[in-house]
């Protein structure tokens, strides 16, 4: 099955030593503190930083959401002007999609996937750090537009020709355009990195069909990213040429067809939807079997339906354009294709239900959020079918019915899945469990607030309230449900913030108790990440795990007795690795990823404000690439959580080979 | 065990269930009531045309299918989860449920069954797509000729109002730009749009007046960004895209007012780009169209305010606005992206202005509505349109003078617009402020507008 069954055994050799690659900077070696976080190449720390950065952007996107809801709470409200409203709703969508949901998916993929496949790190650790920093710095640059130029005002979909300089002369859309171009570089390098990791660095014995479902969904997601991001990049380069250099790609006066932008944007935009939801599908496919104490029902169906979604996701983009005037033949084809993408999604829902069926369910917070995903996503899926029917979509598209639909998919689906993931893997990341009492409040306030916010939007949309409306008048009759939705939004905001409160409260409680060890396997887990200490040590696995089955760790704990009945023969703690490795080399920290990433926003500002400003950016970029090229990937003198330094030497075991692979980056 | 406790418990459960059922029924009732309430002018569940009914008929059974799946999956999941729950404190590692890894026939069944269901749904869907498309008269695209019956109207979206052009003389919407002797063929559709449009067409704004019971073929386009034309009771929506000509059709069963709203995000005042279709009985419609085809009145000496107002119009408003009374010249080189502003020739026969956000009239015969009211009641719109076929009776209506004056004096303060020249293109979007005009001058302009019936 597997493309590569064993890690690649590259010839081992002594890397060149270059302590001061440019003769000035000595190599960073800190493993704690700020400098460590800035220079680390550890996939777990990078994963945590992805999560933390996403939470930071979630606050920005969330405040924007609350402003939208306050503005729409009553008819003819004047809290936000038309201009301010357009900027706020555009930035809400942009920040939530590109800087919150996608990065949380990346946080889980980074933190978890290497642990699930039994690897020491990702294939290209420095590129991994670069991916994070370029996402974070690009996202920050995008958000500086709040203060310089006032945020983009064309909607996250940013249709031409309204995105042109004639209709949006401020720099907001330039920030949107250049900022997302930069963030996209991070997504692209990240996808190549993670695909390589899954395909080449799995533990011995882990064939593709023994991979955890989350790892599978990560693989599908990264392939979607790999092919979708370049399409957006093309569209954004064309737009940048139009706006910054007076090109005419979208200039109707010069004969352009504005539908070009729509096609490019949605060829990216629809796979984008699936790459936001598939990581969450993977997460609940891990959580539900653990707390139902049953294997996932129909593992091959779960895997292949995920792959099917990944393929079919490319053939449905024009359902965003049923009223754009693309002609009845296109409408028919995309209408039918869109209806059938419900099939693999439905299979997943039914398989989760079958996994729950007859289980011994522990309804803790992680499980509640997973069940929340199954139910709420179903609602979003059903409303999706109603606008797959193109004639029906001509009444529903660009109304609040669509807003309800995609929030049920992306909030009730993706974010609920991510919340389940937070509660589930928190001990593996930080060494303590999140409080269940706070967790229950977290869940119930979110699920109630969520349905109060977005449930009424179905009604509003079918009553004819269009989207992207700064205001509405009393006579249109939208007042009541809008007010309900606004109250719901505040309940939802409180509910969402509780996860951060919970993290803090639980940490303080844990610290008060003297930081007791939560154990390697607090949930009676199924996959191999539960066979190492919590929090996961820097080197992950003391020895390479050898995998012989799906849910390998669980099968080592539970084995059939003579009568064939499953008995627990070991506890997780008995099997857990002690976290005391020998002869491990890890990729060394590096300054260059963050320096290279920092050069790009400078070039971006230069494109927007003055081309002269690009010069320092380009110089910095050249310097960073130079330094990166001269720096060997691992530093044999560094101590990386290895307690047996004396045993150093050119090692020939597989972990050494993995370390060698790092030099490729 | 049969004891008072258990029977009480049971009755409590039953009572609880009754309450739940009642609550559910109430909630369903509230939802239905909310969906059917007649104070929702854009409601998508009240089709009033063959086109909208076609869409509604397609969806009505599907809502039920969706409802059944919703109940089965969502409540099914909740029930399964609740019934199989184990308290965490009762966790017993030896107490494993049956380890079911899957069931291939079952999974194949629930892969194939939804696929079959969707295939069944796809049949009427495809049928509806083509049926609705065939209603869009090919002749509608600005052409006249044998087999092209019915009224053709060109709908042009722009920031942030709608223009309607009626091809009353039957020579198509376009001039014979390429000089091949046939006006309005594909080569005649030049860009920018203004250069090729037939100036002899009847041109109105914001309210689309149509004859009831007849199909109206629409040709949709835009002068600047993408807009979307949507009057939910008469049909679904269709985008108006600059440089493209889309065919669409509407039809109203009965006379009445049908509310619509621009539904593609179009910038600053997207929320204030509203419109409506007003359906008149065919005879009234003919009278209305005949009146619209006439030149505007030139005020006589008995109305000195209106005469002064016309002078002010010539010196200020004529830069962008058309009033065709045979003497006022048409504006040239309008410094707007759209190169057009609403045609005001028969302004006083309309019921709304400023992109459908303000009422032209503050009160009808005999009522004393506050002049600042946002709009007349919906029925009055209709009366007004009927009266437009008999303009003399408009004298009984009181113009919304206060709002009109506010609008003329400082339109950007009433509605988000960008009238100042764009640094890149030198063109503005929307109506500039005229703060130099005195209150008396504003009164004079309003007096002139009142004569434009």
Interface test with B, best of A87, A394, A522 (most B CBs within 10 A): A394
Percent of chain A past pLDDT 70, that is, above it, reads 91
Is the pLDDT at A14 greater than 60? The verdict is: no
Which band of pLDDT confidence, cut at 50, 70 and 90, is reported for residue A662? very low
* Nearest Cβ partner for A371 among B37, B81, B378: B81
- How many secondary structure helices (H) and strands (E) does chain B include? 10, 14
Query: Which pLDDT score, from 0 to 100, does residue A70 have?
Result: 97
Query: Which pLDDT score, from 0 to 100, does residue A401 have?
Result: 97
Is the pLDDT at A463 greater than 70? The verdict is: yes
Query: Which pLDDT score, from 0 to 100, does residue A480 have?
Result: 95
Contacts of B45 in chain A (CB under 8 A): 462
Interchain proximity A328–B133, CB inside 8 Å: yes
Which residues 398-437 of chain A have a CB within 8 Å of chain B?
398-399
Is the pLDDT at A426 greater than 50? The verdict is: yes
| A188-197 average pLDDT score | 97
Contacts of A399 in chain B (CB under 8 A): 44, 263
Which band of pLDDT confidence, cut at 50, 70 and 90, is reported for residue B391? low
Query: Which pLDDT score, from 0 to 100, does residue B345 have?
Result: 94
Residue with tokens 């939470």: A55
Contacts of A325 in chain B (CB under 8 A): 238-239, 241, 244, 246
d(Cα A136, Cα A153) in Å, to the nearest integer?
22
Q: Rounded to whole angstroms, what are the CA distances from B24 to A421, A447, B21, B62, B354? A: 33, 19, 5, 22, 44
Query: Which pLDDT score, from 0 to 100, does residue A63 have?
Result: 97
| B225-234 average pLDDT score | 96
Contacts of B110 in chain A (CB under 8 A): 346-347, 350
pLDDT, tens digit, 9 for 90 and up, residues A279-321: 999 999 999 999 999 999 999 999 999 999 999 999 999 999 9
Query: Which pLDDT score, from 0 to 100, does residue B361 have?
Result: 83
Percent of chain B past pLDDT 70, that is, above it, reads 81
Which residues 60-89 of chain B have a CB within 8 Å of chain A?
62-63, 66, 69-70, 73-74, 76-78, 80-81, 84-86, 88
Which band of pLDDT confidence, cut at 50, 70 and 90, is reported for residue B24? low
Query: Which pLDDT score, from 0 to 100, does residue B14 have?
Result: 53
| A213-242 average pLDDT score | 97
* Nearest Cβ partner for A258 among B238, B242, B267: B242
Is the pLDDT at A18 greater than 60? The verdict is: no
Is the pLDDT at B420 greater than 70? The verdict is: yes
Query: Which pLDDT score, from 0 to 100, does residue A251 have?
Result: 92
Extract the tokens encoding A490: 């505040």
Which band of pLDDT confidence, cut at 50, 70 and 90, is reported for residue A118? very high
Interface test with B, best of A171, A391, A403, A413 (most B CBs within 10 A): A391
Q: CA end-to-end span of chain A, whole Å?
A: 27
Which band of pLDDT confidence, cut at 50, 70 and 90, is reported for residue A19? low
- Mean pLDDT for chain A overall: 90
CB A244 within 8 A of CB A195: no
Query: Which pLDDT score, from 0 to 100, does residue A24 have?
Result: 55
Q: What is the ipTM of this complex?
A: 0.89
Interchain proximity A476–B86, CB inside 8 Å: no
Q: Residue A388's closest CA among A325, A464, A337?
A: A337
Query: Which pLDDT score, from 0 to 100, does residue A638 have?
Result: 54
Is the pLDDT at A335 greater than 60? The verdict is: yes
Picking from A225-239, A263-277, A483-497, A585-599, which range would have the lowest pLDDT averaged per residue? A585-599
Query: Which pLDDT score, from 0 to 100, does residue B146 have?
Result: 47
* Nearest Cβ partner for B96 among A169, A293, A396: A293
CB A574 within 8 A of CB A559: no
Interchain proximity A362–B246, CB inside 8 Å: no
Burial A440-458 (b: 16+ CB within 10 A, else e): ebbbebbbebbbbbbbbbb
Q: Is the four-CA dihedral B124, B127, B131, B133 of positive or negative sign?
A: positive
* Nearest Cβ partner for A382 among B66, B84, B270: B66
Q: Residue A347's closest CA among A290, A300, A295, A293?
A: A300
Which band of pLDDT confidence, cut at 50, 70 and 90, is reported for residue B187? confident
Query: Which pLDDT score, from 0 to 100, does residue A661 have?
Result: 43
* A652 φ, ψ (degrees, to nearest 5): -115, 5
Top mean-pLDDT range of A565-579, B80-94, B107-121, B389-403: B107-121
Contacts of A347 in chain B (CB under 8 A): 107, 110-111, 114
Which band of pLDDT confidence, cut at 50, 70 and 90, is reported for residue A71? very high
pLDDT, tens digit, 9 for 90 and up, residues A365-424: 999 999 999 999 999 999 999 999 999 999 999 999 999 999 999 999 999 999 999 999
CB pairs under 8 A between A and B: 314
Residue with tokens 């359906």: B279
- Cα of A404 to nearest chain B Cα, Å: 15
Q: Is A626 on the interface with B (CB under 8 A)?
A: no
Contacts of B262 in chain A (CB under 8 A): 466
* Nearest Cβ partner for A360 among B76, B97, B423: B97
Contacts of A408 in chain B (CB under 8 A): none
Is the pLDDT at A27 greater than 70? The verdict is: yes
d(Cα A186, Cα A594) in Å, to the nearest integer?
12
- More confidently predicted of B27 and A77: A77
Chain B residue with minimum CA distance to A165: B424
Q: Is A354 on the interface with B (CB under 8 A)?
A: yes
Residue A321: CB atoms within 10 A of its CB come to: 19
Residue boundaries of the structural domains of chain B:
138-292, 294-450
Picking from A373-382, B320-329, B360-369, B441-450, which range would have the lowest pLDDT averaged per residue? B360-369
| B59-70 average pLDDT score | 94
Query: Which pLDDT score, from 0 to 100, does residue B94 have?
Result: 84
Chain B residue with minimum CA distance to A385: B66
Extract the tokens encoding A152: 């983009």
What does the angle CA B157 – CA B163 – CA B167 come to, to the nearest 5 degrees? 120
Query: Which pLDDT score, from 0 to 100, does residue B247 have?
Result: 87
Which band of pLDDT confidence, cut at 50, 70 and 90, is reported for residue B184? low
For residue A57, give the 3-state DSSP assignment.
helix
- Cα of B122 to nearest chain A Cα, Å: 6
Report CA A365 to chain centroid distance, whole Å.
21
CB B132 within 8 A of CB A322: no
Query: Which pLDDT score, from 0 to 100, does residue B35 have?
Result: 47
Interchain proximity A342–B114, CB inside 8 Å: yes
Interchain proximity B129–A331, CB inside 8 Å: yes
Picking from A3-7, A273-277, A390-394, B245-249, which range would have the lowest pLDDT averaged per residue? A3-7
Is the pLDDT at A1 greater than 70? The verdict is: no
Interchain proximity A83–B268, CB inside 8 Å: yes
Which residues 511-530 of chain A have a CB within 8 Å of chain B?
524
CB A338 within 8 A of CB A309: no
Interchain proximity B114–A343, CB inside 8 Å: yes
Query: Which pLDDT score, from 0 to 100, does residue A635 have?
Result: 60
Which residues 290-309 of chain A have a CB within 8 Å of chain B?
292-295, 297-301
Q: Is the peptide bond before B192 cis (omega within 30 degrees of 0)?
A: yes
- The CATH class for the domain spanning B138-292 reads mainly beta
Is the pLDDT at A639 greater than 90? The verdict is: no
Is the pLDDT at B83 greater than 70? The verdict is: yes
Query: Which pLDDT score, from 0 to 100, does residue B11 have?
Result: 52
d(Cα A80, Cα A449) in Å, to the nearest integer?
23
Q: Residue A138's closest CA among A95, A91, A179, A175?
A: A179
Q: Is A374 on the interface with B (CB under 8 A)?
A: yes
pLDDT, tens digit, 9 for 90 and up, residues B91-108: 888 889 999 999 999 999
Query: Which pLDDT score, from 0 to 100, does residue B145 have?
Result: 47
Which residues 114-133 of chain B have a CB within 8 Å of chain A?
114-115, 118, 121-122, 125-126, 128-130, 132-133
Query: Which pLDDT score, from 0 to 100, does residue B42 have?
Result: 92
Report CA B426 to chain centroid distance, whole Å.
30
């Amino acid at each position: 099955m597997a493309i590569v069954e064993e890690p690649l055994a590259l010839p081992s050799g002594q890397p060149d030593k270059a302590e001061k690659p440019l003769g000035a900077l000595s190599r960073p070696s800190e493993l704690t503190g700020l400098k460590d976080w800035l220079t680390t190449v550890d996939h777990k720390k990078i994963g945590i930083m992805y999560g933390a950065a996403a939470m930071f952007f979630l606050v920005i996107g969330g405040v924007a959401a609350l402003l939208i809801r306050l503005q729409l709470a009553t008819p003819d409200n004047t809290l936000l002007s038309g201009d301010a409203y357009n900027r706020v709703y555009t930035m809400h969508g942009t920040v939530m999609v590109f800087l919150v949901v996608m990065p949380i998916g990346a946080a889980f993929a980074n933190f978890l996937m290497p642990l699930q496949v039994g690897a020491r790190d990702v294939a290209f650790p420095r590129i991994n750090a670069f991916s994070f920093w370029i996402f974070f710095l690009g996202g920050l640059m995008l958000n500086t537009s709040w203060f310089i130029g006032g945020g983009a005002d064309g909607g996250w979909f940013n249709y031409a020709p309204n995105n042109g300089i004639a209709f949006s002369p401020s720099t907001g859309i330039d920030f949107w355009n250049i900022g997302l171009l930069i963030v996209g570089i991070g997504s692209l390098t990240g996808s190549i990195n993670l695909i390589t990791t899954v395909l080449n660095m799995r533990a011995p014995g882990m064939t593709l069909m023994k991979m955890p479902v989350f790892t599978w969904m990560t693989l599908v997601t990264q392939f979607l990213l790999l092919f979708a991001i370049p399409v957006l990049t093309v569209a954004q380069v064309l737009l940048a040429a139009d706006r910054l250099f007076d090109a005419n790609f979208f200039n109707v006066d010069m004969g352009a067809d504005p539908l070009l932008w729509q096609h490019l944007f949605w060829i990216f935009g629809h796979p984008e939807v699936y790459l936001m939801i598939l990581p969450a599908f993977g997460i609940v496919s891990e959580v539900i079997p653990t707390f139902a104490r049953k294997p996932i029902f129909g593992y091959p169906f779960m895997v292949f339906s995920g792959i099917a979604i990944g393929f079919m996701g490319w053939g449905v983009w024009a359902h965003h354009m049923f009223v754009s005037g693309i002609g009845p033949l296109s409408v028919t084809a995309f209408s039918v294709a869109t209806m059938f993408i419900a099939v693999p999604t439905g299979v997943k829902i039914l398989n989760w239900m079958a996994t729950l069926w007859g289980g011994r369910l522990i309804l803790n917070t992680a499980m509640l959020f997973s069940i929340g995903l199954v139910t709420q996503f179903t609602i979003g899926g059903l409303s999706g079918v109603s606008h797959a029917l193109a004639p029906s979509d001509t009444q529903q598209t660009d109304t609040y019915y669509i807003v309800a639909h995609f929030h049920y998919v992306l909030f009730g689906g993706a974010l609920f899945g991510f919340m389940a993931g937070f509660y589930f893997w928190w001990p593996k990341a930080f060494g303590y469990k999140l409080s269940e009492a706070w967790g229950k409040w977290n869940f119930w306030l979110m699920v109630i607030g969520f349905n109060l916010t977005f449930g009424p939007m179905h009604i509003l949309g079918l009553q004819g309230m269009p989207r992207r409306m700064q205001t509405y008048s009393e006579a249109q009759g939208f007042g009541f449900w809008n007010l309900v939705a606004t109250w719901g939004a505040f309940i939802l905001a409180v509910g969402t913030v509780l996860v951060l409160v919970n993290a803090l409260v639980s940490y303080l409680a844990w610290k008060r108790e003297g930081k007791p060890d939560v154990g390697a396997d607090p949930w009676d887990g199924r996959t191999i990440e539960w066979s190492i200490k919590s929090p996961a040590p820097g080197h992950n696995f003391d020895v390479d795990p050898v995998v012989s089955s799906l849910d390998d760790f669980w099968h080592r704990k539970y084995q059939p007795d003579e009568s064939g009945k499953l008995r627990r023969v070991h506890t997780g703690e008995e099997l857990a690795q002690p976290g005391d490795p020998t002869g491990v080399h890890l990729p060394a920290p590096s300054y260059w990823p963050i320096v290279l990433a920092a050069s790009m926003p400078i070039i971006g500002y230069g494109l927007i404000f003055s081309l002269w400003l690009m010069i320092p950016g380009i110089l910095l970029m050249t310097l960073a690439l130079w330094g990166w090229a001269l720096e060997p990937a691992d530093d044999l003198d560094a101590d990386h959580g290895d307690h047996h330094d004396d045993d150093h030497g050119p090692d020939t075991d597989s972990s050494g080979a993995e370390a060698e692979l790092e030099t490729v980056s | 065990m049969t004891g008072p406790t258990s029977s009480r418990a049971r009755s409590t459960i039953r009572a609880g269930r009754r309450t739940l059922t009642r609550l559910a029924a109430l909630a369903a009732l509230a939802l239905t009531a909310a969906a059917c309430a007649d104070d929702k002018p854009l409601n998508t569940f009240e089709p009033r045309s063959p086109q909208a009914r076609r869409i509604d008929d397609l969806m009505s059974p599907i809502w039920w299918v969706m409802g059944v799946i919703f109940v089965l999956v969502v409540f099914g999941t909740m029930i399964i989860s609740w019934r199989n729950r184990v308290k965490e404190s009762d966790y017993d590692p030896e107490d494993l449920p049956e380890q079911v890894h899957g069931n291939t026939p079952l999974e194949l069944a629930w892969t194939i069954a939804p696929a079959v269901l969707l295939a069944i749904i796809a049949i009427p869907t495809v049928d509806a797509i083509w049926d609705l498309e065939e209603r869009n008269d090919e002749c509608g695209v600005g052409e006249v000729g044998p087999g092209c019956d019915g009224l053709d109207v060109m709908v042009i979206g722009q920031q942030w109002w709608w223009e309607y052009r009626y091809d009353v003389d039957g020579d198509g919407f376009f001039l014979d730009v390429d000089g091949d002797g046939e006006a309005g063929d594909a080569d005649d559709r030049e860009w920018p749009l203004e250069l090729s449009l037939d100036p002899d067409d009847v041109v109105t704004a914001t309210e689309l007046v149509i004859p009831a019971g007849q199909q109206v073929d629409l040709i949709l386009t835009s002068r600047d960004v993408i807009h979307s034309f949507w009057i939910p009771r008469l049909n679904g929506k269709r985008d108006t895209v600059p440089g493209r000509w889309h065919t669409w059709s509407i039809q109203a069963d009965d006379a009445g007012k049908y509310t619509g709203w621009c539904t593609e995000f179009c910038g600053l005042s997207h929320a204030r780009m509203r419109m409506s279709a007003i359906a008149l009985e065919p005879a009234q419609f003919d009278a209305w169209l005949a009146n619209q085809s006439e030149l505007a009145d030139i005020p006589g000496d008995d109305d000195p305010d209106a005469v002064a107002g016309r002078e002010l119009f010539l010196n200020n408003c004529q830069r962008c606005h058309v009033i065709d009374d045979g003497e006022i010249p048409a504006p040239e080189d309008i410094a707007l992206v759209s190169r057009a502003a609403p045609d005001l020739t028969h302004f006083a026969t309309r019921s709304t202005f400023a992109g459908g956000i303000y009422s032209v009239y503050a009160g009808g015969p005999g009522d004393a509505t506050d002049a600042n009211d946002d709009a007349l009641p919906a029925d009055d719109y209709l009366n007004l349109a009927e009266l437009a076929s008999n303009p003399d009776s408009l004298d009984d209506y009181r113009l919304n003078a206060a709002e009109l004056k506010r609008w003329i004096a400082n339109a950007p303060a009433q509605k988000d617009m960008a009238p100042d020249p764009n640094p890149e293109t030198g063109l503005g979007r929307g109506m500039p402020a005229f703060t130099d005009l005195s209150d008396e001058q504003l009164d004079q302009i309003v007096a002139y507008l009142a004569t434009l019936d």
